[in-house]
Structure 1
C-alpha cells in the first residue's frame, strides 16, 4: 500500500500548487477542474462533475458486484490571510488553505494513483471532492443532488489532519467524533434618536448588554461528555459609528455547539426563548436566522472496525482519542452510509487549524493514502 517516490514528489508539488490558488466555499470551480485534470491519468471509469455545486465524484469500478466505498475530502479554503513565508504560500490576498484541505485532496489523489495500478476485486471506490465544507453547506448540497442516488455508498470515510496530535499518529473511536454546531444571527430592532434625546427612541443597548452574557451562560462547555454544550459570542454591532445618533438596531452573532444533535435542538430552543423574552422586555422587535449548520459526526462501529484493521495492517499507531470540539459536515453522510472520520496527527507543536501560520504537513500525504487504500482493499478485495 505504498506510493512510489515519484508519486510522492508529484503529489507534494500538486498540493503546493493548490495551496497557492485557494478558493473559498462556493467558489471552487477552478480547484474542481484542476482535480479532474490531475486525476485524468489514473483513468477513472467515470467523473461526475458539478455535484452539489462544484463537487466532483471520481469512480473506480471493479466490474463485479459489491459494496460502494466512498472516500471524501474538501475543496474549499478559508477567507483568512496567510502569514507563512513558504515559497508556495497563497497568491490570493485574504484567502488561504489554512485548514489543510489542499493536503486532504492530495491524499485522495494518492488513493487514485493506487487504484489506477490495481482496481478493487469487487464493488467500486468513489472519491468525493466536496465543496463548501467550511460553511456546512457542502455536504447538504451533495446529498440533496439527485445524482447522489447513483453513488449510494455503503461505507463512507474521511480524515482531518489534527495539530496537537503526534505527526502521523491516528485518533479514532466509535461514536462521537466531532461536535454539532450552528451560527445564530440575532437582529434587534428599535428606533433611532438624537443622542441628546435618547429617551425618544428605543435603544437595543440594554438587550445587547443582557444577551451576550446570558447566551454564554446557557452552556458553559466543560468536559466532552454526552452533555457537552457551548455558546460563544463571535460578533456584536450596534448602531452607526457616529456620536450624534442613539442606536436603533443591533446584531449579535453567536455559535451554538453540542456533542449530540439532540442536545442541539434543546439548546436552540433555549436560546430562541431567551432572545424573544429579552427583546420583548426591552420593547424591541427581533429576528433570528441560523447559518453554518453542522450535524454531529458520529462514527459507525463497523466503519471504525475497517479503519482499525487497515491501520494495523499498515502498522500506523492509533488510539481512541477525544472527540473534536470543532465541527465537520462529514457528519451528514452518516445518514446514508456506515461512516467514520479519523484524525491524522499533524504534529504536537504544529500551528493550529485556521491559524494564519498554518500549512499542511506534506509527510501526511503518503500516510493518509495508505490508510484509505488499505481500507478499500480490505473491504473490496
Structure 2
C-alpha cells in the first residue's frame, strides 16, 4: 500500500477547488499509465477521467466513482504532506477516495476481468454540485450505460473499516436560494421617500423558519439555514435600497424538496411585491438526494460479508449533500460509507486528514462488488 499512500500524500499537497482540478487530473492519468486500462477518456465534464477495464466477453458493466476536488479551507495540520496551496485543502477525504479508485485500477490490471466492463470515474466538481451533471451531459460519457453505479464516502465518527449502508435516501437533497431585493435608497431622516428591504427580509426569514421540521425520523424533514444577509452600507444617513438573503435547504426527499422550492420562491416573491420591491431569485449548489437502489444495497451487503467486514445498517439519511445523487437518478446504484475512526476530526474541519488504514478496505470492497456483478 506504500505506493498508494505516496500518491495520496501528493494529491493532498496539491488540492484544487471545484472546476480547477487540472494538476490533480494529470497525477491520476500518470498513475493510470502504470496500470493501463483498456481505454482512458479524459476531460469529461471538465477535468474528469473515465478509465475502462474490459473483459474479452460481453457482460454486465459497473461504474465506480470518486471525486477530484478539494475545499476552500485553510489547513492547520503540520505534517509533511500538508497542502501547499493557501486557503485550499482536502478536508473531505477526496484524496483518499482517489487513492482507493487508483488501487482498484491496479488490482483490475493485475487481475483482468474475463467479461463485462468496469468503469472508474474520477469526477470533478463534486463540492459545488456541478460535477455529476457535467459528466452525464458530456457527449464523451453518453456511450457508457452501466448496469450499476457505486460510490463510497469516508465517515468520521464510525469505527475504522466499518461499512455503513442504507436503503433509499443515503444523503439528503440540498439546494441553496439567493433572494435579491431592490427598492429605493433614501435619506435616513426621510425613509418614507425610499423603499427599504429590511421588513421584507425579516418576513422572509420568519416564514422560512416556520417551515423547519428538524426531526429526520419524521416524514417532512426540512432544515432551512440562513447563510448570508446583506443590506445597505455603513452610512448612517442613508436608508438602504437594496438587500439580499441566502438560505440552504435540506430534505431527505427529492419530491419534498421540489415542493419546498416552489413554496419558498412563491412566498419570497409575494413578500417582495407586498413591500413594493423588485425581486430576483436564483438557486445554486443543488444536490439530489442519493436514493440507493435496494438491489445495489444488497450487493454491497453481500460483498461486505464476503470480505468479513463489519456492517452497520443506518436508519436515517446523512444530512450532507452529495452529487452522486444525480448519478443514482440515471443508473441503479448505491453510495455507502466506510468508518474513518470514532476519534477522527469531522469532515470539512481544518485539521481533518483521510486515514490511510481504510484504503485497502475500500479497494477490496469495490473489487468484491465487481465480482458479485460481473461473475453473476
* Aligned residue among 8, 13, 24 for 1:15: 8
Match of 1:110 in 2: 103
* 2:336 is aligned with 1:342: yes
Q: Do the aligned partners of residues 225 and 68 (structure 1) sit closer, same or farther apart at CA in structure 2, a change above 3 Å counting?
A: farther
Aligned-partner Cα distance in 2 for 1:356–1:253: 24
Which of 230, 249, 261 matches 1:256?
A: 249
Separation in 2, partners of 1:65, 1:336: 22
Secondary structure of the 1:286 match is: strand
How is 1:174-253 mapped onto 2 (pairs within 5 angstroms)?
174-253=167-246
Pair 225,122 (structure 1): closer, same or farther in 2 beyond 3 Å: farther
Deviation, structure 1 residue 225? 3.9
- Pick the aligned partner of 2:120 from 124, 127, 140: 127
Give ranges in structure 1 of 5+ residues lacking alignment: 1-7
User: 2:348 is matched with which residue: 329, 347, 354?
Assistant: 354
Q: In 1, are the aligned partners of 2:213 and 2:220 still within 8 Å (CA)? A: no
Return the offset for 1:277. Answer: 2.0
CA distance in 1: counterparts of 2:139 and 2:349, whole angstroms:
37
Indicate yes or no: 2:20 matched with 1:27. Answer: yes
Query: Are residue 299 (structure 1) and residue 299 (structure 2) matched?
Result: no
User: 1:167 touches 1:344 (CA, 8 Å); kept in 2?
Assistant: yes
Q: Distance in 2 between matches of 1:109 and 1:10?
A: 10
Query: Counterparts of 1:75 and 1:343 in 2: how far apart (Å)?
Result: 18
Q: Secondary structure of 1:73's partner? A: strand
1:363 alignment partner, SS class: helix
Alpha-carbon distance, 1:180 to partner = 0.6
Unaligned 5+ segments in structure 2 are none
What is the deviation of 1:327?
0.9
SS in 2 for 1:153: coil
Deviations 1:324-346 (CA, angstroms, capped at 9, x unpaired): 10111101112332100001111
When normalised by structure 2's length, the TM-score is 0.97
Distance 2:4 2:90 in 1: 16
CA contact (8 A) 1:163 1:353 kept: yes
For the 8 Å contact 1:120–1:376, the answer to whether it is kept is no
- Number of the residue aligned with 2:283: 290
- What is the CA deviation profile of residues 236-284 of structure 1, one whole-angstrom value per residue up to 9, with x for unaligned ones? 1111233332211111110111111110111111111220121122221
Alignment correspondent of 1:99 = 92
Q: Partners of 1:208 and 1:355 in 2: how far apart?
A: 31
Q: CA deviation at 1:375?
A: 0.8
Aligned partner of residue 149 in structure 1, secondary structure: coil
8 Å CA contact 1:225–1:259 kept in 2: the answer is no
User: Which deviations, in whole Å up to 9, do the C-alpha atoms of 1:337-357 show, x marking residues without a partner?
Assistant: 210000111112211111111
Task: Give the distance between the partners of 1:108 and 1:234, measured in 2 at CA.
Answer: 34
Give the Cα separation in 1 of the matches to 2:115 and 2:355.
33
Q: Secondary structure at the residue paired with 1:215?
A: helix
The CA distance in 1 between the partners of 2:70 and 2:158, in whole Å, is 22
Per-residue deviation, 1:84: 1.7
Is the Cα contact below 8 Å between 1:224 and 1:259 reproduced in 2? no
The range that moved more, 223-232 or 327-336, is 223-232
> What residue in structure 1 maps to residue 360 of structure 2?
366
Q: Secondary structure of 2:58's match?
A: coil
* Cα distance between partner residues in 1 of 2:205 and 2:250: 16
Aligned pairs, how many? 374
Equivalent residue in structure 2 for 1:38, among 31, 43, 50? 31
5 Å-filtered alignment, 1:270-281, equals 270-281=263-274
Corresponding residue to 1:139 among 132, 135, 158: 132
Q: Secondary structure at the match of 1:212?
A: helix
Name the residue aligned to 1:319: 312
Distance (whole Å) between structure 1 residues aligned to residue 309 and residue 249 of structure 2: 35
What is the SS of the residue equivalent to 2:301?
helix
